[in-house]
A and B are shown apart, each in its own frame.
Chain A
């Protein structure tokens, strides 16, 4: 028997899943979750994140490995015995019941006394600011209101964990931001543990305490949002989280955590990740907002000469498209103020950045 870490709140231990008995959809997922954390599973569709969630909820069997809550494996626990609240993308509010009956459902199946149910329902309706809506049917609510009912229903029976499967996927942009705020508020106020699945990185970055980035059934990196954004551990994460430019080159020297890279436009300095070797091809990532166009007062370690391609006016900022000498596109985001420069077609320009803002990854 493995040590399932009885002091750990929730542990995934080498969890694997196969649907067709040939290939793995989840290829050995490991993770420890502390009580009260907000964990997001982020990844493109088909990366295995929803499968992990369904295994945790008990709607999919675990092919191998263990999922343990407080040191006890729940692999063989029936889904209705797991005490896990769930919020679905389509809300899954029961259309033939009123909002109050929906909220009362998990308490009714637990045979909670009637008076207590009424009290709790009122309390949670108040919590999601829908006190006057108890008698309505889900069909009479707006998208945001339904989402809040779904949240309240997942919380009302005080589950060990709350799982959210792309809960904001069906909402428009404004409502989504509002609901992100709402979920964060409830999480802070009540302190429950959340496992949140999404393919929307903005959502993930703004809400989570930690994010696990999935690709092809493997977790690429699991880290707090800032670390994920600033120090991606591989090229997939660097590319998937936010926008990024990649400059191809060859490693010349490697000193501690800095590497010198030879590119077509000259030598540049970047931070090195594990797996980099002298003489091998590499890709240097720089975020579009970390690049500067002279004249600028920003400090810089690197400079490359590029050709202007086009610029797109977005509103709060302007996106410049340049081309490197080898033809690679490079994007620069400049705040829309008076300093945003104008270029003639094909004009030469300089791009400047700090070595600490760029990371060299092994190519391939």
Chain B
């Protein structure tokens, strides 16, 4: 009897502990499939991407001996003959392996114009005798193209040969490393402008979805169940049609001889068609349409939970309806508003397909240039750096949001 008063006896404690263990194991088993899936399909690729943005062993694998020889190079003049001979040997090997093209691409990124130099040199060295190269490699190399006598070329090779490099991140923010190791603006300023434009467009889209979605969600939340469900079908309708179809529909509407232009011309508002398709305008309008449900759904879910008595209470106390909305309803609907805004903003920052289809050149966003580097220019490292920077940017925004609004003020339903 005495141990019931004191608490659990050892056997009870063991049983209780076993019970807890079993429940933990069960809980873990429930999430295991998802965990495995996420690790393979999400964590691993992201980690690879982050790694790739700083890690590029291509050149180091192609010409390891040349790079080793370059270690002792002073950097001011053309390297020693030993280095040049080693490089000529490597070039001949690569010409015969048909890997000289890879080297050409890599060096070209560091120093534009080098692609053809590398390729022609490789061609001219391909049939030269090994003994001849060991003896006269340096001369042959310098004769093949006079750019090999320029120290800048060798700087470029050395830079491209670094296995770990921050150069892709520098490129992502329109900077480059100079020959003396400093950091300077690149000649072409693309990416910072593109990031700014992407953020500005995402912000515009978020504001537009709020302007369109907030009143709708408010009306739906306070309408009768039947009407609210009916309207909900229209909100969800875009989810049931393919993204491609919806985007193409905008092409049909906005093109030069499209529905909007013919209507405007028929009404005499304009004499000649307005160029709407393939502009920032068309990207924003199509994305607003596509992302509107992501704003309406969390807003509606939160507003549905706000009893009408709050507004009534505020009004009965003498507040004007608009004042009551601002002081009472808006703060209470803020969790839904911020969830919707965050959702729309983050999705639109990384949006690809709509700007690719209706954006033209003016309406391109950062993800389009990432795709370009993945598919066309084959510069995966730069694509990875741009993507990682986008990820960091989003995490930063989320942190700011958490600081100023608070993530506990976030409610999706």
Chain A interface (Cβ within 8 Å of chain B)? 57-59, 79-86, 88-90, 92, 94-96, 105-106, 109-110, 153-154, 157, 163
Contacts and interface: CB of A to CB of B under 8 A. Distances in A.
A88 B309 contact: yes
Given A59-B315, A84-B316, A153-B313, 16 more contacts: A79-B315, A80-B319, A81-B318, A82-B316, A85-B316, A85-B317, A86-B312, A86-B313, A88-B313, A89-B309, A92-B309, A92-B312, A94-B331, A105-B319, A109-B317, A109-B323
A80 B328 CA distance: 15
Contacts, number: 65
17 contacts: A57-B312, A80-B321, A84-B316, A86-B316, A86-B317, A88-B312, A88-B313, A92-B313, A94-B313, A94-B328, A94-B332, A95-B332, A105-B314, A105-B317, A105-B319, A109-B317, A110-B318
B316 A79 contact: yes
Contacts of B316: 57-58, 79-80, 82, 84-86, 163
The 8 closest A-B pairs by CB, nearest first: A106-B317, A92-B313, A92-B309, A86-B316, A88-B309, A109-B319, A96-B331, A80-B315
B81 interface: no
Contacts of B324: 80
Counting chain A CB atoms within 10 Å of each CB, the highest count among B309, B310, B316, B327 belongs to B316
Nearest to B319: A109
A80 B320 contact: yes
B402 interface: no
A16 to B, nearest CB: 22
B143 interface: no
Contacts of B312: 57, 59, 79, 86, 88, 92
Contacts of B150: none
Interface residues on B, range: 10 to 19
A109 B313 contact: no
Nearest to B317: A106
B309 A157 contact: no
A91 to B, nearest CB: 8
A79 B323 CA distance: 14
Interface in B296-345: 307, 309-310, 312-321, 323-324, 327-328, 331-332
Nearest to B312: A59
A145 to B, nearest CB: 17
Interface string B164-197: 0000000000000000000000000000000000
A163 B315 CA distance: 14
B125 to A, nearest CB: 76
B379 to A, nearest CB: 50
A92 B328 CA distance: 11
Contacts of A85: 316-317
Contacts of A82: 316
A83 B316 CA distance: 7
Given A80-B320, A80-B321, A94 B315 contact: no
A81 B317 CA distance: 9
A249 B323 CA distance: 63
A5 B315 CA distance: 28
Contacts of A59: 312, 315
B318 A80 contact: yes
Given A59-B312, A92-B307, A92-B310, A153 B317 contact: yes
Contacts of A96: 331-332
A251 B27 CA distance: 75
Nearest to B331: A96
A153 to B, nearest CB: 7
Given A95-B332, A96-B331, A109 B318 contact: yes
A7 B320 CA distance: 30
A94 B313 CA distance: 9
Contacts of A110: 318
A157 B316 CA distance: 11
Contacts of B319: 80, 105-106, 109
A221 to B, nearest CB: 29
Counting chain A CB atoms within 10 Å of each CB, the highest count among B318, B323, B328 belongs to B318
Counting chain A CB atoms within 10 Å of each CB, the highest count among B310, B314, B315 belongs to B315
B408 to A, nearest CB: 12
Contacts of A105: 314, 317, 319, 327
A5 to B, nearest CB: 25
Nearest to A163: B316
A90 B320 contact: no
A173 B310 CA distance: 25
A105 B321 CA distance: 14
A50 to B, nearest CB: 12
A170 B328 CA distance: 23
Contacts of B313: 86, 88, 92, 94, 153
Counting chain B CB atoms within 10 Å of each CB, the highest count among A58, A86, A89, A154 belongs to A86
A126 B275 CA distance: 69
A88 to B, nearest CB: 4
A110 B316 CA distance: 12
A336 to B, nearest CB: 38
Nearest to A165: B309
A307 B307 CA distance: 53
A176 B307 CA distance: 23
A259 B328 CA distance: 61
A88 B307 CA distance: 11
A79 B311 CA distance: 11
Contact of B317 (A58, A157, A163): A157
Nearest to B324: A80
A80 B313 CA distance: 10
Contacts of B314: 94, 105
A308 to B, nearest CB: 48
A59 B312 CA distance: 8
Interface string B341-381: 00000000000000000000000000000000000000000
A203 B21 CA distance: 52
Contacts of A83: 318
A113 to B, nearest CB: 16
Contacts of A89: 309
Contacts of B327: 105
Given A90-B307, A90-B309, A92-B307, A106 B332 contact: no
Contacts of B315: 59, 79-80
Interface string B280-302: 00000000000000000000000
Nearest to A80: B315
Contacts of B309: 88-90, 92
Nearest to A83: B318
A157 B321 CA distance: 18
A96 B326 CA distance: 13
